[in-house]
Amino acid sequence: MERDVNENVIYGCYMDDRNFWSPNADQVIQRILRWQLWSEKMGLRENPLKTQVTSRTMHDYQLLLSKAPQWAKPEVKLLGVTTTTRSRVNSDSENTRIFEAMQRARALFSLPLGWEQRVRAYQSFVLSKAAYGWVGHNPLLNQGNKLFSLLSTSLKQQRMGSREIKKIFFGVPNFLPIVLTTRRYARVARNLRRPNSPKWLTAAFCSVSILRKELRDLGFTEIFPWYWKMSQPWYNLVKNDERTLDLRTSHQPVDLALHNIRTLFRWRCFERFVNHPKRRDSEWLRETVGIDASLQAFACVSGYYRAVAFASFLSTAARWSGHHEADLVGAEDCCPLCASAVGFHHHLFWDCPQNIPPNGRPPDNPLQERFGWFTLGDNSIENHAVCDHMTRTASRILTLRHDGGAEGSID
């Protein structure tokens, strides 16, 4: 049978599951009959009811129904993956998979895990389950968002923090839609190096056209088939080798391309955050904040810094929930450190006589002043000093708030 493969037939075999594809319905039927004959000769016991055949178009499906109604199915299920031959909603098995992933995410809440272990557990037990089997069809966006919210809740970073900022700081590999895009890119890259490589198509439901749409939505422009450039203004914001995706040859490592996809995704999250109507000067902010340096700092410092950088600090210190004094008009709460002024954000971090900042003044960059993010340029010492100061401040305040007295050390 294996030797009989011609170039119009693509074979797959996994354990005792066999599948093949062919452009010709009669060829498919002939081949199934011959497989059955072969299995019988070999004494293999196979369940004939498990044979499933489907087709790409309605016309072919009608043909199939007329020739082999016992095998014809609108969609076939193979190793738990449902095919997509026409526009459809999620299949039951897809919805069940997402549901089970959500149950696993909820189960993670109750486990006593540290930050890193929790993120790793989420990736191996929740995302791997949710990300399986989406080939010609994507889960709904709100399913990706819901799964992500469960991670936030599990990390106790849910209230008040901006979702866009969390996507950046939790790590892009924790957001299902982008995980699916990077997997799809890697799969297409792999298949391009094989016989019967995928075509540069726009046909519905094929991996290539879904990938092309996803990359377009993300902000990549198609220059040639299999070659994309980041659109402006991002093109000018990243390093040379991070600007393109190239599948024309194996010249660009796939890992670099995936990194570039994630980089643009992070920029887009960051932009959605800074472009929020509440924030002015976003152009300037984009050019001054060092997201990569902030991410590095984020990865190696304490939970107190994360609380500041995610903007979730204020929710946990709810008694001092405003940024400016005006936000707290009528509030009675005093600064817990000096007990002589209203404890709004700016006072706590930069104005309090009992909490003198490095250099004695707040940073010029409003995002650094607010979140402790690192700025671009040659100011690593100052960046770290601000980060340390904000981390220490958050630790002092949260300790006072939760223990009602003595200040504890930073974790």
For residue 235, with 0-12 CB atoms within 10 Å meaning exposed, 13-18 middle and 19 or more buried, which class applies? middle
Q: Is 352 in the site for Zn ion (CB under 5 A)?
A: yes
163 vs 346 by CB, closer to Zn ion: 346
Q: Is 335 in the site for Zn ion (CB under 5 A)?
A: yes
Q: How far is the CB of 348 from Zn ion (least distance, A)?
A: 7
75 vs 325 by CB, closer to Zn ion: 325
Contacts of residues 315-322 at CB distance under 8 Å and 24 or more positions apart, as own/partner, are: 315/159, 315/160, 315/161, 316/159, 316/398, 316/401, 317/394, 317/397, 317/398, 317/401, 319/343, 319/401, 320/344, 320/345, 320/348, 320/397
Q: Is 23 helix (H, G, I), strand (E, B) or coil?
A: coil
Stretch that binds Zn ion, among 122-130, 238-246, 331-339, 365-373 (CB under 5 A): 331-339
Which x/- pattern, by CB under 5 A, does the window 380-399 give for Zn ion? --------------------
Q: How far is the CB of 338 from Zn ion (least distance, A)?
A: 3
Q: Is 311 in the site for Zn ion (CB under 5 A)?
A: no
For residue 13, with 0-12 CB atoms within 10 Å meaning exposed, 13-18 middle and 19 or more buried, which class applies? exposed
Q: How far is the CB of 405 from Zn ion (least distance, A)?
A: 17
d(Cα 310, Cα 308) in Å, to the nearest integer? 6
d(Cα 280, Cα 132) in Å, to the nearest integer? 41
72 vs 337 by CB, closer to Zn ion: 337
168 vs 342 by CB, closer to Zn ion: 342
Q: How far is the CB of 347 from Zn ion (least distance, A)?
A: 6
d(Cα 152, Cα 170) in Å, to the nearest integer? 9
Cβ neighbours for 17, distance < 8 A, ≥ 6 positions apart:
78, 79
Q: Is 338 in the site for Zn ion (CB under 5 A)?
A: yes
Q: Which residues of 237-251 are buried (b: 16+ CB within 10 A; e: fewer)?
A: beeeebbbbbbeeee
25 vs 335 by CB, closer to Zn ion: 335
Q: How far is the CB of 346 from Zn ion (least distance, A)?
A: 11
Three-state SS letters, 271-296: HHHHCCCCCCCHHHHHHHECHHHHHH
Residue type, 165: I
173 vs 362 by CB, closer to Zn ion: 362
Q: How far is the CB of 261 from Zn ion (least distance, A)?
A: 45
140 vs 338 by CB, closer to Zn ion: 338
Stretch that binds Zn ion, among 104-112, 137-145, 287-295, 350-358 (CB under 5 A): 350-358
DSSP state of 179: H
Q: How many residues bind Zn ion (CB under 5 A)?
A: 4
Q: How far is the CB of 89 from Zn ion (least distance, A)?
A: 55
295 vs 338 by CB, closer to Zn ion: 338
238 vs 338 by CB, closer to Zn ion: 338
Stretch that binds Zn ion, among 209-217, 282-290, 309-317, 351-359 (CB under 5 A): 351-359
Interface of this chain with Zn ion, residues 93 to 122, rule: CB under 5 A? none
Quick one: tokens of 200? 């540069």
Q: How far is the CB of 301 from Zn ion (least distance, A)?
A: 24
Q: Is 317 in the site for Zn ion (CB under 5 A)?
A: no
Stretch that binds Zn ion, among 146-154, 159-167, 208-216, 328-336 (CB under 5 A): 328-336
Q: How far is the CB of 314 from Zn ion (least distance, A)?
A: 16
From 133, 131, 250, select the one nearest 190 (Cα to Cα): 250
Q: Which residues of 373-399 are buried (b: 16+ CB within 10 A; e: fewer)?
A: bbbeeebeebbeebbbbbbbbbbbbbb
Helices (H) and strands (E) in the chain, counts: 17, 7
Q: How far is the CB of 337 from Zn ion (least distance, A)?
A: 4
Interface of this chain with Zn ion, residues 281 to 300, rule: CB under 5 A? none
User: What is the residue whose two structure tokens read 């990300």?
Assistant: 131
170 vs 320 by CB, closer to Zn ion: 320
d(Cα 350, Cα 282) in Å, to the nearest integer? 23
Positions touching Zn ion (CB under 5 A) are 335, 337-338, 352
